[in-house]
Amino acid sequence: MSTVAVNQYNPDYAVHPGEILEETLDARGIKKTEFAQRCGLSVKTVSQIINCKAPVSPETAIQFERVLGVSANIWNNLDAHYRLHQAKIANFKELQRKTAWAKNFPITQLVKGGWIAKPASKADTVDKLLGFLGAGTIKAWQDRFKSTQVAYRSSSAFKSSPEAVAAWLRACELEAEDIDTASFDATVFKNNLLKIRAFTEKGPEQFEPQVKQLCAESGVAVVLVPEFPGTRLSGATRWLSKDKALLMLSLRHKSDDHFWFSFFHEAAHIFLHGKKMLFVDEIKSVDTPEEHAANRFAANMLIPDQDFHRFVARDDCKSKTAILVFAKDLVIAPGIVVGRLQHEGIIPFSWHADLKRTFELVA
C-alpha cells in the first residue's frame, strides 16, 4: 500500500525576529532611534518589528545585515518560520472547528491500509484526511467532489456513503501513481485482454502479476483495493491522463465468476467509452447504455454468445459434467460458466457452487 506523507501540527516555539533584534540592540547598547536612522527606517517601523507587530521584509533584512552584521538570511528565516508557525496555529484552531466533517470517512480503514498515519487528535484527523485527499481545504475538496459526483453519472453508489466512495477512489488513485505504464494503445489492450481471458483457470498468485503487467503494457494501471465500509462497489474506471487509464477493482466478491466479470466490465468502459467518461460500478449497476454495453462486452468476452446459446440448447446443460466439459472446451474456469447460467436464470444460485473458486488477492 502507498503511505501518504502529510503535515502534522506539532506545537513548538517560534521566535519573532523582533525579539532577537531587541536583544541584539540591548547587548550592543544601540538605541532604537539610532538604529532606525542607520537603517534608513522610521522609528515607528523599528518599534513595530520589535513588538512583533510587523514583519521583516527582504529589503529590511538586508539593511539589518549591513548595520548589525547579522546575515539577512537569518532575519528572513526567523520571520518566515514565525509566520508559518502562526499560520499553523490558526489552521489548527480552524481544524478543531471542522472535526464533524471527518466523521463520515472510513478513518480506521485508511489507517489500517497505510494511506494515513494514525491521527493524534480529532483536528489531526482532519489534517491527515485533507492530505490524503490532496485538498488544501474542506471547501476545496467539497467543490471538487460535487463535480466528481456529476462526472460519475450520479451513480447510486454515492447515495450509500459518498465519503467512503471518495476515499476508496482516492486510495486507488494513489496506488496507481506508482504504476508505470506505456501510452494507451487500444489495439494492444484488446489483444492483451484476449491473453488475460486465458488466465481464468489459474490461481490469483499466478494471474494477478500477469494481468497487471499486460494491462500496464497497454496503458492501463490495474489496482486491487478491498472495498471500504459503507460502499457496495465492484469496480471503477477513470483516465488519469490522455495516455493512462485506471482500472479499479474492490474485491467485493471473492468468487472467480464475479471477479472476472467485474474485470472485463471495467475493461469495457476503457475500451468502448470516451476518455472523459468516468464510471463507478456497483454489483447491481445502473441501467444505462454504457453499463449495458459493458455488461455485454464482459459476458461475450468470457463466453461468446453463440457458444453459450448453443450450450444451453442442450438437454444436459444443467449437469455438472456438461459444464466441466464445456468450460474445458472454451479454456475457461467452470465457475464462470456456472455464474453465467445462474445470472441467466437457467439454474438456481444454489446449484454447482462447488465449481466456483473463492480466493483472496494480494492487493
Element (H, E) at 183: none
pLDDT tens across the length of the chain (363 residues): 444 444 444 546 789 999 999 999 999 999 999 999 999 999 999 999 999 999 999 999 999 999 999 999 999 999 999 999 999 999 889 888 999 999 989 999 999 989 999 999 999 999 999 999 999 899 998 888 776 654 454 445 455 678 888 899 999 999 999 899 999 999 999 999 999 999 988 877 888 899 999 999 999 999 999 888 878 788 889 899 999 999 999 877 678 888 899 899 999 998 887 776 667 776 555 667 888 888 899 999 999 999 989 988 888 889 999 999 988 999 998 988 888 888 888 888 888 888 888 876 554
C-alpha grid cell, residue 22: 531587541
Q: What is the pTM of this model?
A: 0.80
H-assigned helices in 219-332: 256-272, 289-302, 305-312, 320-330
Closest CA to 340 of 354, 325, 323: 323
H-assigned helices in 156-203: 157-160, 162-177, 186-197
Q: How do 279-282 and 233-241 pair as beta strands?
A: antiparallel
In sequence order, what are the beta bridge partners of 238? 246
